[in-house]
Amino acid sequence: MSNVLVVLSSARKGRAADNIFDLVKKDLHTRDGVNIVVADLKDINLPFYAHELAPASPDYIPTDPAVIKWGKLVTEANAIVWLTPEYNHSLNAIQKNAIDSLKNEWIDKPIAIIGYGWTGGSLSIAALDHILPWLKADYKHNPAELAFMKDINVDGTALDEASVTEKIKTAIDEIV
């Protein structure tokens, strides 16, 4: 059984992530041997990173229960599907904070990106293009870009479900 961690990265009320997640689940349920695990950053509620040591330090030991839980979810995942909204042409703060809270957990971790927003999440994806290789993650460079009013409605429901489903499938194919 392969644990696929799906990370929901928006904490906004009425977020598009919930409906996009439904489409991701639909895809993952068609695959044999996949167990879906969810990391909703809204619920994990990580503190802003303020540890005196960097996570890359050999002496770093997380002490906050939310960071420990988050690290365990990433460690136990065989692969990650990251749903990334685009806020002001980049990642939102809770995504960057979640990434910065860990280090070794990212090494060699297969990650597929599903970006969404007015530009299809292209600029949050571009930010991840710089961050994930630095962390030595096994980042797959075939993201799904879902643009508001072109691919999906603002609430994350698909305008053309076949097209959106194919984009999601192509991104996930690289890690599962």
108 touches 139 (CB < 8 A): no
Looking up residue 163, the CATH number of its domain turns out to be 3.40.50.360
How many CB atoms neighbour CB 117 within 10 A? 23
Give residue 129's domain range.
2-173
pLDDT of residue 51: 85
Domains: count for the chain: 1
pLDDT tens digits along 8-46: 999 999 999 999 999 999 999 999 999 999 999 999 999
Residue 162 has pLDDT above 90, yes or no: yes
Predicted model pTM: 0.96
Instruction: From 82, 139, 69, select the one nearest 116 (Cα to Cα).
Output: 82
In angstroms, how far is the first alpha carbon of the chain from the final one?
11
Average pLDDT of 138-146? 90
**pLDDT on residue 103:** 94
* Banded model confidence at residue 4, pLDDT cuts 50, 70, 90: very high
pLDDT digits (tens, 9 = 90+) for 145-155: 999 999 999 99
Per-residue confidence (pLDDT) for residue 149, from 0 to 100: 93
Mapping DSSP onto H, E and C, the string for 50-109 reads CCCCCCCCCCCCCCCHHHHHHHHHHHHCCEEEEEEECECCECCHHHHHHHHCCCHHHCCC
